[in-house]
Amino acid sequence: GVTSDSSATQYKGSVTNCCKSINWVQEEVCYYLSTLGTPTQKYFADPSDRTKCVVHQTEDTAATGFYATPPAVVCALGKVTSPADSAGVECVEEIGVSTKLYDSLDDCCKTNVSWDVDSCKYESMGTDAPGSGDYYIDWAIEQCVQDCNIEATGSSCNGIAKSWQTTYGSEETCCKQISWVNRRDCLYYQTR
């Protein structure tokens, strides 16, 4: 293009060089937005819910042609189908200049939700964390509850422990931590 600003730097058709000069926009983001080329197939924090990550990829991708190389991230119906360690993550085509991209779901969660990486990964994939089966103290009810996502009647499950909550291998060990609570009242027991 033509510019009347004599101080403007010209990059002789090289988008890559231009993007390298803009230090406030990630180079890959700049290149994609400048060329509207192939999505980066990288992960970023979901702008509508920053406790999970999404991937920059078209909603339906596949290798085309006889010798086509499959993309690193394959999506079908708007969700990742491959690689398996991020299956279910939402595929998003739109990114903006402030988007920060990461090579993996793990890197995205570690950077953006460092206080609860596991929950970020499971939430991003649209699944429930399996839980350890150990016990932790739910301080709101002052009882030991089991770290699991199964909420069956008669269960001691009360949800997945957060990464900052200490877990104990047995209900006995957990109950010893809240010794002021009567032993028969220590363990949470679902009655619904």
Q: For residue range 74-102, list pLDDT tens digits in order.
A: 888 889 988 888 899 999 988 999 999 99
Q: What percent of the chain has pLDDT over 90?
A: 39
How far, in Å, CA of 124 to CA of 128, rounded?
10
How far, in Å, CA of 45 to CA of 92, rounded?
11
Rg of the chain in Å (alpha carbons): 24
Interaxial angle between packed helices 117-125 and 105-112, expressed in degrees from 0 to 180 and rounded to the nearest 10: 130
**CA distance readout (Å), 42 to 6, 27, 102, 104, 109:** 37, 13, 6, 7, 13
- Those residues whose C-beta lies under 8 Å from the C-beta of residue 185, and which sit 6 or more positions away, are 143
How far, in Å, CA of 173 to CA of 139, rounded?
16
Q: CB of 145 within 8 A of CB of 135?
A: yes
| pLDDT (0 to 100) of residue 173 | 95
Which of 12-16, 20-24, 65-69, 136-140 shows the lowest mean pLDDT across its residues?
65-69
| pLDDT (0 to 100) of residue 67 | 42
Q: pTM, whole model, 2 decimals? A: 0.69
Q: For residue 157, what is the DSSP state? A: B
| pLDDT (0 to 100) of residue 45 | 95
Tell whether the model's pLDDT for residue 64 goes beyond 80. Answer: no
| pLDDT (0 to 100) of residue 92 | 92
Closest CA to 16 of 1, 3, 35: 35
Residue that is written with structure tokens 């980066």 in the block: 40
Q: CB of 61 within 8 A of CB of 71?
A: yes
Higher pLDDT, 7 or 120: 120
Most confidently predicted of 18-22, 143-147, 157-161: 143-147
Average pLDDT over residues 15-30: 84
Phi-psi region of 159 (alpha: psi -120 to 50; beta: other; left: phi over 0): left
Tell whether the model's pLDDT for residue 103 goes beyond 90. Answer: yes
Q: For residue 159, what is the DSSP state? A: B
